[in-house]
Every structure is written in structure tokens, then in C-alpha cells.
Amino acid sequence: MEQADLVDFRNYEAAEFRPAPDGVTLLVGDNGAGKTNVLEAVGYITTLRSFRGAATAALVRSGRDQAVLRGTADREGRRLLIEAELNLAGRDRTRLNRQPLRRMDELLSTVAATVFSPDDIEVVKGAPGGRRDYLDDLLCALHPRHSAARAELERVLRQRNALLRSAGGSLRPGTAPTLDVWDAKLAQVGEVVAASRSELVADLQPEVDAAYRSLSAGLPRGTGRPAVVRVSYDRSWQGSLAEAVARARADDLRRGVTGVGPQRDDLVLSVNGLAARVQASQGEQRSLALALRLGGHALVAARQGSSPVLLLDDIFSELDPGRCAALAHCLPPGQALLTTAGAVPDELPVVARYVVRAGSLQPG
């Protein structure tokens, strides 16, 4: 990302951000000054959504009805201009090189970002939905057309669940043919999504394990043997999805919801053979959450031939000193944007610095 311009976004009336094209750009400021808002803007430009899960109403500056974000980047010699309008009244609009964005995969195939925030610990210790979202987001970065399969799965599930609820627990003669149609669609798109996730997890395993070992390199000796991280994909069914959906039909009708399929799958994480969600320490969970992001970052960089923008929000307050120093040493090459309200490791290779003060963003 060469430049990001913020207009009426969060607490910024107008701000211009020019990060270093390579290496670490550090954003320094007090808590609440707006450091994370800058990362959120950069992330929004690359994905058209807030990594904090915020709705448009929270992104537009108080008293305004529209926010505008502009980003410029270079992709293999191709100049890119991304313009996003966030409107409280009416639809949001996005243009790529001054042309309306027709499909999300057009944007995902041009510029990418890897985001780590303190909330990422929930990917490790939270509900399975967060881990499925992690996999699908990464798949969209690796294969932009996965966004269409993801959207189709969501559409099929909405329609099938609405039909199940309307059936009231019993299969009426007029309901069965329609349910057969949605069952077939679910089996088709569900198998595609699950297969893509399974293949991704297999590719992720060595990358996540290596990233976790690198982050643990700064721990004092005597803290135990080198940690071994395992990631695996756990399907909610065995055999073909079409057969599993047929077997579950009676239960689905009784409950009014689809009980098998990729929407029930999970990413299983372990450290030294123990379930990370419930048996890992807080430090191990945070390191694993970061390792998941760094592992995915490495995959995208290898597949695309260029590194995504790495956005690390308040990362050093979340790790112990040993892991902070290790992260400073093992940051991947490319452009990295980091926020901090305090000290950073001496080993951190800072190239540029911005000072953030209550809606003001100044080089310094």
C-alpha cells in the first residue's frame, strides 16, 4: 500500500497516510487516539469490511453521513486506485481504477492484507465459527473465487433453514421436492467448500508450526521441549455429504436447522498434543493465534509472489518480552504496519514512524 487517505472515517476528519513501501511503519500514540482506526482503514480498502466487525454506522465520523477511503498500490507494475464510499443512507460504493467494482474477487485478486488484532485470541479459544471464518478469509485471499462459493453456501443454508422452519417439524407432500433441491445444492457446494478448507489446512500445518516455533525462540531455556503445533480439519459428517444430509433430514426437520455440512465443521488446534482451546496457557493461545496469521501470510506470499500488507494491532502488549523479541526477529519481509501505545523491542527494524493524536496523523 503506497498511500491511504481517510475522510470522515472514525475519528478522522481528513488524514493522509504514506507508509514505508518496505519494512516496518510504526504508529505510536495513546490508547484511544486512533491508531487502530488507521489499520482498520487500510484493511477495509483491501477487503471492504472492518476487521473489528463494525457496521458502516460505526465507521462514519460522528455528525457525517458518509466516509471515504482511498488507497493506492502497485501490483506487479500495475497502478491501482481503490475508492470506497461508506454511506449511512443508501448503498456503499467501491471503484477500482475509477470503474465500479462488479465482483469482490476483482478486489481480492489485486491487493491483500494480513491482519492481527488482540481479538484474534478468540480464533483459538472461541467458538468454531471464528475458526471457519479464518479459513474462509484465507481461502479468499489465496483463491478470490472462493468468495463466490462461500456466498453460495450461505445462500443455500438460509433457504434450506427457512424451509425447515416453515415445515413445522413434519415433511408435507409439497415440501419434499423443494427440500430435495436444496439438499442437492447443499451437497454440491458443501463438498467444494469442505475440500478447499481441508486442502488449505494441510498446507497450513508446516507454516503454522514453523511460525509458532519462531515465536517461542525467545523463551528462556528450561521452559520445556520445543512445542509442536498441529492443525487439522474436522468435518461434521463421514462419507458423502449428500448421504449425510439425507440421514439427518428427520433431525433437521425436528430442529428447524441444518445439522451437517461445512457450517458445522471445525479447525482443530493443539500444542504438544493438548487441545489449544482449553488446555493451552494464555501466552500459548496468543502465540498460536499470531502463528495462524503468520502461517497464512506465508502461504499467500508464496502463492502470489508478493507479500500482503501485514497489519499488527497493539501486538507487543499482548506478548511476553521473549516472544516480543522473537517476533521482531522473525517478521516476514515486505510492508508491515504496527501500532503501539508503549515501548517496542530494540530489535524491531522500524523504517518509518507516525505519531497519532486524537484524529491527527503526523510523520515523526
pLDDT digits (tens, 9 = 90+) for 323-357: 899 999 999 999 999 999 988 999 899 999 999 99
50 with 135, same domain?
A: no
Shared domain for 286 and 143, answered yes or no, is: yes
List the grid coordinates of 294. Answer: 503468520
Residue where one domain finishes, among candidates 285, 307, 329: 307
In this structure, the answer to whether residues 300 and 318 fall within a common structural domain is no
| Spatial distance between the Cα atoms of 206 and 230, rounded to a whole number of angstroms | 9
Query: Average pLDDT of the chain?
Result: 93
Over the stretch 4-42, which tens digit does the pLDDT of each residue have? 999 999 999 999 999 999 999 999 999 999 999 999 999
CATH number of the domain encompassing residue 279? 1.20.1050.90
Residue 218, pLDDT score: 59
For residue 97, give the nearest of 69, 71, 77, 76 by alpha carbon: 71
Are both 280 and 322 inside the same structural domain? no
The residue from 307, 322, 349 where one domain ends is 307
What share of the chain in percent tops pLDDT 70?
A: 97
Is 264 found in the same domain as 125? yes
Nearest to 330 by CA among 305, 317, 349, 344: 349
* pLDDT at res. 219: 60
Overall number of domains in the chain: 2
- End position of a domain, from candidates 259, 279, 307: 307
User: Nearest Cα to 189, choosing from 151, 145, 229?
Assistant: 151
Please check the confidence at residue 77 and state whether its pLDDT lies above 80.
no
Residue 51 in this model has a pLDDT that exceeds 60: yes
The answer, yes or no, to whether residue 229 has pLDDT greater than 50, is yes
Read off the CATH number of the domain in which 64 is found.
Answer: 3.40.50.300
Q: Are residues 170 and 296 in the same domain?
A: yes
Looking at the fold, whether 146 and 5 belong to one and the same domain comes out as: no
Is it the case that residue 222 has pLDDT exceeding 50? no
Give the confidence band of 117 by pLDDT, cuts at 50, 70, 90: very high
Task: Please name which of 199, 38, 191 lies closest in space to residue 115, comparing C-alpha atoms.
Answer: 38
Q: What is the DSSP string of 148-205?
A: HHHHHHHHHHHHHHHHHHHHTTS--TTHHHHHHHHHHHHHHHHHHHHHHHHHHHHHHH
- Is residue 81 a contact partner of residue 70, using CB atoms and an 8 Å limit? yes
pTM for this structure? 0.92
Q: Is residue 339 domain-shared with residue 262, that is, in the same domain?
A: no
- Residue 54 φ/ψ, nearest 5 degrees: -80, 145
Among the listed residues 301, 313, 75, the one whose alpha carbon sits nearest the alpha carbon of residue 207: 301
Q: Tell me which residue range forms the domain holding 53.
A: 1-112+308-364
In whole angstroms, what is the distance from residue 167 CA to residue 146 CA? Answer: 32
Residues 149 and 283 in one domain: yes
Same domain? For 299 and 313 the reply is no
- At 209 the pLDDT is 95
Q: Are 132 and 17 in the same domain?
A: no
> Could you tell me if 184 and 295 lie in one domain?
yes
